[in-house]
Amino acid sequence: MVSENAIFAFGITNLAMLGWLAVAAAPILIHLWSRRRYRQMSWAAMEYLLSALRQSRRRLRFEQWLLLLIRTLIVVLVVLAVAEPYLQQGILAFTPGGTRTHRVLVIDGSYSMAYRPADKSRFEQAKAVARQIVHESPRGDGFSLVLMSDPARAVVCTPALEPEEFLREIDGLALPQTTADLPRTLAVIDEALKSGRREQPGLEREEVYFLTDLGRVGWASKLDAAAAAAMEKLAQRLAREASLVVIDLGQPGAENQAITELRTVKPMATTVEATEIQAVVKNFGRQAQKARQVELVVDGRSVQRQQIDLAAGGTASVGFSYRFESPGDHAVEVRLQSDNLDIDNHRWLVLAVKPAIPVLAVDGRYSGEPFGGAAGYLRFALAPRDDDPSHAMVRPDVVPESALLETDLARYDAVFLCDVAQFTTSEARAVTAYVRGGGGLIVFLGDRVAADRYNRQLGGKDRLLPAALGKVVGQVKPGIDPLDYRHPIVAPFRGRERAGLLTTPLDKYVTLTVPADSTARVALATASGDPLVVERPFGRGRVILVATSADTSWTAMPMWPSYVPVVQELLAYAIAGRAAQRGALVGQPLGATVSASTVGASGTIETPDGRTEPLRLRAEGDATGWSFDDTMTGGIYTARFGQSTGQGELYAVNVDTVESDLEKLSEEQLRAEVLPGVPLDYQTTWQAAADVSPSHLGRRAVLARALLYGVLVLLFVETFLAWRFGSR
């Protein structure tokens, strides 16, 4: 079978224009139409003229056919020029069976591609180069499109043979705000090539184009030895099967600054007092930055501004203080003055502001007296300003252990268990579901605690407690070991040795055994080295186990000056997980538990780019939960459930600023560090991206111009010959 490309020895971009070749028949039809038949009559003078004409007939016929050929050729060349032909490399004139190619276009989807060195971002340049490759490829070639992101994905896996449809896929491609996953990208490319061989066996040649800024973060990510060897083996196999071309769109020495961290000094935000908000700004460039503006935005309204100076490669901390006037979810954003990469100049935080932090204390020796029972001192430590409840940040409720099942635990941010003797199966299930859903649980022990019942009801496979309870022992060696203040609970005491923490008297405690394979951490230890405070995350919440009592029955700690700050730090760390539940990095799923009354109800989530996606609630054991995975854009997400038309629940998604480091690989580093021994063609196009013309592509514009110049020459020739022949 002879292809149309082989017949003409060049391809045609606009095949529809070839229909106008029918116009080339117009001069011939006019010529034939003009040859009309006349009735012949003899006439002496005319016989003389005919005799003279017969002598010059051959010359006249040659002149007429020559003019007809020139006029027809003019029409043909005009039509071909408009159809935009281009030469195909490797296909000789009149050679049948031109080679068709499967081209896999891999566009870097890491957010460093949003860097805008000029009027176009790198991502826009990559899409422009991809469109050019498609435009300049011969008809009959197939195209696949792969987005090199995390996770990598095939936008078009089975080769597309219609360029117009494939170009629409390129135009609709959006840049996710993630980094790049090279090993997975190579696996997706392999799948696309296999799909091409299976679905389009006529595509005999294979080519892979990487359109990338060659950022070190995405291309040279640290892998273990096995993963690195597997990636190198796959890359070498792909290079044997296809031609690999890397088109470098990056700029060496690109400057960038980013907000790398945004947090509150305390995890609790109330309307009682101002909330301290802290942001960290980093300069990833090699040039110092002066008077960079940092802005605090609350619920879309700018409230404060500051200016900072950044040393080359340095960081700066920016603090804001803001008092929220109303409870509810509030969206906090910190903006850095724009630069060439604006994505990482924003960072968001969602604060669930309350009139006060609701805390439940379950007292195993409930008395109702101010300092009676197991939770009396604890209640005072949680709310020291009991004389003015309107100014208390924490509002504790104290109930006896018999009221545990009757209390709606979901109303509280944290639950303290103080010398609770034991748990029924229903109580253990309720407490476990509460923590799994995001609650904070702090357990103080005491004389009434039945260790074996704790281990049986709150231990086991899905261990709620971070350690197993042993026997009660007396303090042998006085003092407390802060373990070098490594844990966040005790970190604020560093440099404050006189606060009394280290000299706290301890009479009795329960020995705790932390499983070897557990994620639990010891925050405080006794002077003898036994764990005193152990914590671990559980589900969306956190559990803290204290080996001694909350009152003075086992320790004098409640009478010590360090007691109030220790209790406050325990509370802050326990509920920090609930605050973290409102945030995620781009690409990580969002999710939460909701009230049981909404089971089976529908829900929606509104994304920062204006989309509204459906949610479906589902049962998760004794709780009800939901999740949402499409978080490829940073910003504020709003979830609504049932018929709710209010503000909804807010969630903050931020970029991973590891991609903010714009250091790029050179060609030598690419060949030596990332793809050693892998043959590839490297092209640098960032200096003149508009002039990109890969070597295999045709020269369409040059040939079209040549055809039009030929038309111009033929017009002059036709005019001259018509005048010359007519003048005779």
CATH number, position 636:
2.60.40.10
Statement: residue 256 has pLDDT above 50: yes
430 and 568 together in one domain: yes
418 and 472 together in one domain: yes
DSSP states of 22-39: GGGGHHHHHHHHH-----
Asked if 190 and 240 count as a contact pair (C-beta separation under 8 A), the reply is no
Burial class (CB in 10 A: 0-12, 13-18, 19+), 38: exposed
- Residue 46 maps to a domain: no
Structure tokens at 355: 């009139």
Mean pLDDT of the chain: 84
Which of 656-688 are b and which e, b meaning 16 or more Cβ less than 10 Å from the residue's Cβ? bbebbbbbbbeeeebbeebbeebebebbebbee
Sign of torsion over alpha carbons 444, 449, 455, 456: negative
Statement: residue 368 has pLDDT above 70: yes
237 and 337 together in one domain: no
407 and 425 together in one domain: yes
Pick the last residue of a domain from 532, 556, 580. Answer: 580
Tally of domains in the chain: 5
pLDDT tens-digit readout, 94-140: 333 458 999 999 999 999 999 999 899 999 999 999 999 999 898 88
**Residue in 320, 313, 321, 316 with CA at minimum distance from that of residue 280:** 316
544 and 635 together in one domain: no
200 and 73 together in one domain: no
DSSP states of 322-387: E--SS-EEEEEEEEEPP-S--GGGEEEEEEEEBSSEEEEEEETT---STT-SSSHHHHHHH-S-TT
Statement: residue 190 has pLDDT above 60: yes
**Residue in 147, 256, 258 with CA at minimum distance from that of residue 212:** 147
Strand order, beta sheet including 602-606: 583-585, 649-654, 635-641, 602-606, 612-616
- Residue 692 maps to a domain: no
Rank 28-37, 369-378, 642-651, 701-710 by mean pLDDT and report only the highest: 369-378
Asked if 339 and 121 count as a contact pair (C-beta separation under 8 A), the reply is no
Amino acid letter, 544? I
Does 713 or 726 have the greater pLDDT score?
713
- Residue 96 maps to a domain: no
Say how many CA atoms lie within 13 Å of 153 toward its Cβ: 11
Helix (H) or strand (E) holding 82: helix 57-82
- Residue 473 maps to a domain: yes
Asked if 275 and 324 count as a contact pair (C-beta separation under 8 A), the reply is yes
77 and 143 together in one domain: no
Domain of residue 226, CATH code:
3.40.50.410
395 vs 378: CA distance, rounded Å: 12
Pick the last residue of a domain from 324, 354, 384. Answer: 354
How far the first Cα of the chain sits from its last, in Å, is 50
132 and 264 together in one domain: no
482 and 393 together in one domain: yes
370 vs 712: CA distance, rounded Å: 105
pLDDT at position 462 is 65
Which of helix, strand or coil describes residue 572?
A: helix
Confidence of residue 694 (pLDDT cuts 50, 70, 90): very low
**Considering the entire predicted model, what is its pTM?**
0.73
229 and 114 together in one domain: yes
Structure tokens at 726: 């007519």
Pick the last residue of a domain from 354, 369, 403. Answer: 354
Mean pLDDT for 596-605 is 67
- Residue 663 maps to a domain: no
Asked if 221 and 182 count as a contact pair (C-beta separation under 8 A), the reply is yes
With vertex at residue 622, the alpha carbon angle to CA 616 and CA 626, rounded to the nearest 5 degrees, is 20
Of all residues in the chain, the percent with pLDDT exceeding 70 is 82
565 vs 8: CA distance, rounded Å: 86
With vertex at residue 72, the alpha carbon angle to CA 68 and CA 75, rounded to the nearest 5 degrees, is 150
- Residue 697 maps to a domain: no
pLDDT at position 615 is 86
Query: Lowest mean pLDDT: which of 114-118, 315-319, 457-461, 680-684?
Result: 457-461
Statement: residue 3 has pLDDT above 60: no
Amino acid letter, 404? L
**Residue in 406, 455, 405 with CA at minimum distance from that of residue 429:** 405
Domain of residue 478, CATH code:
3.40.50.880
Q: Which domain holds residue 646?
A: 583-654
Phi, psi at 53, each rounded to 5°: -70, -35
- Residue 52 maps to a domain: no
242 and 151 together in one domain: yes
Contacts of 665 (CB under 8 A, 6+ apart): 214, 215, 216, 219, 220, 673, 674
Per 3-state DSSP, what percentage of the chain is helix, strand, and coil (rounded to 5)? 35, 30, 35
DSSP states of 277-325: EEEEEEE-SSS-EEEEEEEEEETTEEEEEEEEEE-TT-EEEEEEEE--S
Statement: residue 508 has pLDDT above 90: yes
pLDDT tens-digit readout, 379-404: 999 987 655 556 678 899 999 999 99
Contacts of 548 (CB under 8 A, 6+ apart): 444, 445, 506, 508, 509, 510, 532, 554, 555, 557
245 and 283 together in one domain: no
Asked if 243 and 210 count as a contact pair (C-beta separation under 8 A), the reply is no
- Residue 660 maps to a domain: no
